[in-house]
Amino acid sequence: MTSDQAKKTFVLKGIGVSPGVVIGKVYRFDPLDAQISFYKLNNSDLIPREIERFKNALKESTRQLQTIQENLKKTKVTEPLYIIDVHILLLSDKKFINRTIKYIQRLGVNAEWALRMTLDHYKQIFEGLDDAYISGRISDVQYVVQRILRNLSGEKHEVVWDVGMGGVVIVSHDLSPADTAQMKLEKVVGFATDSGGRTSHTAIVARSMELPAVVGLDNVTRFVRTGDDIIVDGTSGLVVINPYPDMLKRYEEKKRHYDAAKDEYLKYARQPAVTPDDHRVRIGSNIEFIEEIPSAILHGAEYIGLYRTEFLYIYRDDLPTEEDHFNNYRQVVTEKNLAWSTIRTFDLGGDKFPNYQKQVKELNPQMGLRAIRFCLKEVDIFKTQLRAIWRVSALGKVKILFPMISCIEEIQEAKRLLEETRRELVAEGIPVAERMEIGAMIEVPAAAVIADQLAREVDYFSIGTNDLIQYSLAIDRSNERVTYLYEPLHPAVLRLIKQIVDAAHGAGIRVAMCGEMAGDPLCCLILLGMQLDELSMNHLAIPRIKRIVQQSTLEEARKLLERALSFSSAVDVRAHVQDYMSERFPDEFQKKES
């Protein structure tokens, strides 16, 4: 850690979760009440002035939101417009305003304090609600309160969408999926966060947005202020705050190399992943948003191997209707350059949709009522989605995928509901495909163990290593304190994957992988050796993975796998694979600059 006279320079090391280098300005995304002062008014004469200050902040907040809406309209990104409408309405809500004023008057506290009490009051009400979606709307109240607080502070915090020219790097303690989903619309060029791990959803979203990101920095928020210069090196997991001029130059150079390498790799993307000894692996892309499809195709995706539909449920007051689902999926399945699209039924809970978790107060949401468990409980919500998936099956090639299957009954019940939905649609005269391929995600160790039995129920498996590793090694995938234990090359993980692949092939069905491991170049030959039929990944990884497959043989991959399986220690497996891959692809696996 070093400093110059003007601004202090800090170099922090975290976990690089989305590759690339970016040089930009910090936007410090604050937790709700950072740097807010709460005090009692020592004289009742000050009360009218305090109320006036509050009202002015309301006006200013409304004005800002209207400007944001105007700007959004110009960009044709209409998705968040109605949410901002809700926020504007809240700013003129009589109950909200009067309650805050009452606190100022009765308790003689400053507007910030009163506002905080109003928020607590709303939190209590929302937390008591049965409906997860309505109670989840407390986040809207929080966003509005945060904006008013900023305006009360008098500091003109630049909000992300007011940045104007150039991009900003979001620096925050943490970012919820909702935060990142919202920020994709803005001029964000990178992320740096205190918490998070390699497969936390924030990291996945950053990768899918092609934005460099470093997470698990512990306390980056302590060292930065909005407007500071920052370098985020998502490839090596470094963050530099207020870099020296020569450091800046080096990073500009590094950034140029990275960008050039990306283009260079694109030539592999256009060719299929076939080894010289004629073994083909189908390479697909994981997506969260339909906007990612063009980039996925450009980077060589042959199909969509995982569409995480849960993002359709975020940022809404109400549930998506069948039409909402249909209109969204239609755009995916009618894309001519994709061989097929795999729509995964929604996987809410876990590290996705934190508002929902808050409402049900699960102590251990990753093992709670998430994914298929939630769907089988909330059958109406589930069937709405199933109907839409059937309807788009008449328009293009669709495969359905059920997440978090842990026992035979779950897949059987999901299939029963799927068939029931199909019959209903047929009875209504609505066109649907003759049949749709049904897949089970294998991401719970129990499912891996009974893979031979599950294989009789479905057309294909898709291995979700993010969860499979989390559950089998007992490592919270979004907890940076245990990230060092998260090891895809752990002998237990390799054995589980092999068992799943063998069970699938033994039953004559295909097996795919859609967890992050599928896009990790270091693991590529191991997975090739396992003979996975399909690998679906963050699309930026596709060119590098295709290149490795195109330049390797199945035979050598098998040998490497055999050797890797002979070790009892994860450290030994990694060291061996690392050595082998560095030898075979020295430019890909050269030692990273630290």
Give the position of tokens 């002015």: 56
Binding residue (CB under 6 A) for ligand PEP from 515, 519, 529, 543 = 515
Question: Least Å distance between CB 156 and ligand PEP?
Answer: 38
Four-CA torsion 111, 356, 182, 147, nearest 10 degrees: 0
308 contact, one of Mg ion, ligand PEP, none, CB 5-8 Å limit per kind? ligand PEP
Q: Site for Mg ion (CB under 5 A): which residue of 167, 464, 519, 543?
A: 464
Enumerate residues 6+ apart whose C-beta is below 8 A from 402: 344, 345, 372, 375, 410, 411, 414, 438, 439, 440, 441
Query: Under a CB-based contact definition with an 8 Å cutoff, are residues 301 and 542 in contact?
Result: yes
Q: Which is nearer to ligand PEP, 501 or 514 (CB)?
A: 514
Indicate the pairing of strand 2-3 with strand 8-13. antiparallel
- 299 as an active site residue: the answer is no
Nearest-CA neighbor of 102 among 114, 112, 93, 90? 114
Nearest approach, Cβ of 464 to Mg ion (angstroms)? 4
CB of 376 to ligand PEP, least distance (A): 17
Closer Cβ to Mg ion, 184 or 201, answer by number: 201
- Residue 524: contacted member of Mg ion, ligand PEP, none (CB under 5 to 8 Å, by partner type): none
Residue 233 interacting entry, from ligand PEP, Mg ion, none, C-beta within 5 to 8 Å by type: none
User: Quick one: 112 or 443, whose CB is closer to ligand PEP?
Assistant: 443
Pair 233, 212: CB distance under 8 Å: yes
Q: How far is the CB of 132 from ligand PEP (least distance, A)?
A: 19
Q: For 341-481, where are the alpha helices, taking DSSP H only? A: 354-360, 371-377, 379-393, 408-427, 445-449, 451-454, 465-473
- The first and second tokens of residue 396, run together, are 């293009």
Q: Is 460 left (phi over 0), alpha (psi -120 to 50) or beta?
A: beta
Size of the residue set binding Mg ion (CB under 5 A): 3
Which of 87, 173, 201, 539 does the annotation list as catalytic?
A: 201
Between 242 and 536, whose beta carbon lies closer to ligand PEP?
A: 536
Of residues 91 and 511, the one with the C-beta less far from Mg ion: 511
Tell which residue, 18, 28, 73, has the closest CA to residue 168.
Answer: 28
Return the residues of window 421-450 that contact Mg ion according to CB under 5 A: 443
d(CA 117, CA 100): 8
Q: How far apart are CA 202 and CA 179, in angstroms?
A: 9
Q: Which is nearer to ligand PEP, 443 or 480 (CB)?
A: 443
Torsion angle of C-alpha atoms 337, 73, 165, 3, degrees rounded to 10: -90
The 433-462 site mask, x for binding ligand PEP (CB under 6 A), equals ----------x-------------------
Q: Segment near ligand PEP (CB under 6 A), from 40-48, 252-260, 444-452, 463-471?
A: 463-471
Q: What residue number has its CB nearest to Mg ion?
A: 467
Span 299-358, contacts to ligand PEP by CB under 6 A: 306, 308, 347
Residue 186 as a binder of ligand PEP (CB under 6 A): the answer is: no
CB-side neighbour CA atoms (13 Å) of 489? 25
Q: Which tokens go with 128?
A: 């008591």
If contact means CB under 5 to 8 A according to the sort of partner, which of Mg ion, ligand PEP, none does residue 112 touch? Answer: none
**Which strands form 229-233's sheet, in the order they lie side by side?**
2-3, 8-13, 238-241, 229-233, 21-29, 168-172, 188-193, 213-215, 15-18
**Which residue from 466, 478, 483, 552 is in contact with ligand PEP, where contact means CB under 6 A?**
466
Compute the least distance from the CB of residue 543 to ligand PEP, in Å: 20
User: What is the longest distance spanned by two Cα atoms in the chain?
Assistant: 86
- List phi, psi (to 5°) of 17: -115, -10
Cα 490 to Cα 564: distance, rounded to the nearest angstrom: 10
Query: How many helices (DSSP H) and strands (DSSP E) are in the chain?
Result: 25, 18
Residue whose CB is less far from ligand PEP, 215 or 239: 215
Q: Which of 467, 487, 520, 534 binds ligand PEP (CB under 6 A)?
A: 467
Can you tell me the distance from the alpha carbon of 309 to that of 403, in angstroms, rounded to the nearest whole number?
11
Q: Please say if 201 is a catalytic residue.
A: yes
Binding flag, residue 514, ligand PEP (CB under 6 A):
yes
Nearer to Mg ion, 114 or 497 (CB): 497
Question: What amino acid occupies position 450?
Answer: I
- Determine the Cα–Cα distance for residues 4 and 7; give it in Å rounded to an integer: 6
Binding range to Mg ion, per CB under 5 A, among 57-65, 172-180, 394-402, 467-475? 467-475
Position 520 contacts ligand PEP (CB under 6 A): no
- Under rule CB under 6 A, which residues in 278-297 are in contact with ligand PEP? none
User: CB under 5 A: which stretch of 164-172, 260-268, 464-472, 548-556 binds Mg ion?
Assistant: 464-472
Identity of the residue, 437 or 443, whose beta carbon is nearer to ligand PEP in the bound complex: 443
Identified catalytic residue from 87, 299, 490, 514:
514
AA identity, residue 372 = I
Q: Determine the Cα–Cα distance for residues 444 and 373; give it in Å rounded to an integer.
A: 13
Report the interface residues with Mg ion, using CB under 5 A. Answer: 443, 464, 467
Give the active site residues: 201, 514
Applying CB under 6 A, the residues found at the interface with ligand PEP are 306, 308, 347, 443, 464-467, 514-515
